[in-house]
Amino acid sequence: MKIVSYEHESGIRGGVLIEDTVYDLELLLQGSGQAVHGATTSVREFLELYGDRLEAVSAEVSALAGHDPEAHVGARADVRLTTPVPDPSKVLCIGLNYKDHVAETGRALPEYPDVFAKFASTMVGPDDDIGGARVSENLDFEGELAVVIGRRASEVSEEEALGYVAAVAPLNDVTARDLQYRGTQWLAGKAVDGSTPWGPALVTLDEVGDPQNLDLATRVNGIEVQRSNTSYQIFPIARIVSYLSGFLTLEPGDVIATGTPQGIGAKRNPPVWLEPGDTVEIDIENVGLLRNTVGKPQP
């Protein structure tokens, strides 16, 4: 199942993307009989209610979609999608998690995951522009696979950790390198408004296959700048979820960006920085294509 959030005159609502059509999630739940567990317009609340039974819900909802005219929202091209989970309680990121990326930085392989956080307010959807051009002259791209938690996780083992993951999505951890390198902390470079585009949809694991064997590519203006496979991750998704849950509680809707491979603009010679009007694509096998344009500086 591909889960989205979309703009509606009543506010942001959860939806389901089937082929090129968006359907309303709450209305599908009501029509399928699953609403006995609760109906909601929020993707985060949906994960709280159904995160432990996503595969069954996915089958029922998908079967109903083409037969419930009330749930039909419109063609994807005519519907404005927002960030898939508009209100995650946590946005966690893993740095230096691809062997090739560690090599291009000249650092040693980390012993433990390098964890940092971003703010939910930096997140934008597939139909939004990338921010930051007004405050940074060194905007960089970082194509990543994001995982979204579906069940409350505290001190879970690596063997059971994937059972707590609801879905995955493409994410671009856009970084203002000039702000990042001003001090020893990364926060300024990672906290720019509009610097975390992701989506367009959350793709449940039953549709993805093995999340540790997915090709990932980043393109800027159609030119490939990053290519790797999640099999090159130093810390696989299950280990990341287990590790994080060992010292903090992961909640449904929490987002974890699992790191970027080699090819970032800062490590190219000469460096390659994003400019207003540039189009950036994050393309992940079986997951989807995220495409955003770098916005023009606003006065």
- 180-209: pLDDT as tens digits: 999 898 999 999 999 999 999 999 999 999
> Contact at 8 Å (CB) between 157 and 85?
no
Q: Please, what is the average pLDDT of the chain?
A: 95
CA separation for the pair 60, 209 (Å, rounded): 20
> Contact at 8 Å (CB) between 119 and 87?
no
pLDDT tens for 7-37 read 999 999 999 999 999 999 999 988 877 665 5
**Does the pLDDT at position 115 exceed 80?**
yes
- DSSP helix/strand/coil, 79: coil
Q: What is the DSSP letter of 221?
A: T
Q: What is the pLDDT of residue 26?
A: 93
Q: What is the DSSP letter of 294?
A: B
Rounded to 5 degrees, what are φ and ψ at 162? -65, -20
> Contact at 8 Å (CB) between 230 and 211?
yes
Query: Mind listing the domains of the chain with CATH numbers?
Result: 2-78 (no CATH), 91-293 (3.90.850.10)
Q: Report pTM.
A: 0.97
**Which single residue is written with the structure tokens 């037969």?**
67
Q: How many residues does the chain have?
A: 299
The encoded tokens of residue 20 equal: 């090129």
Indicate the pairing of strand 2-8 with strand 11-18. antiparallel
**Does the pLDDT at position 38 exceed 70?**
no
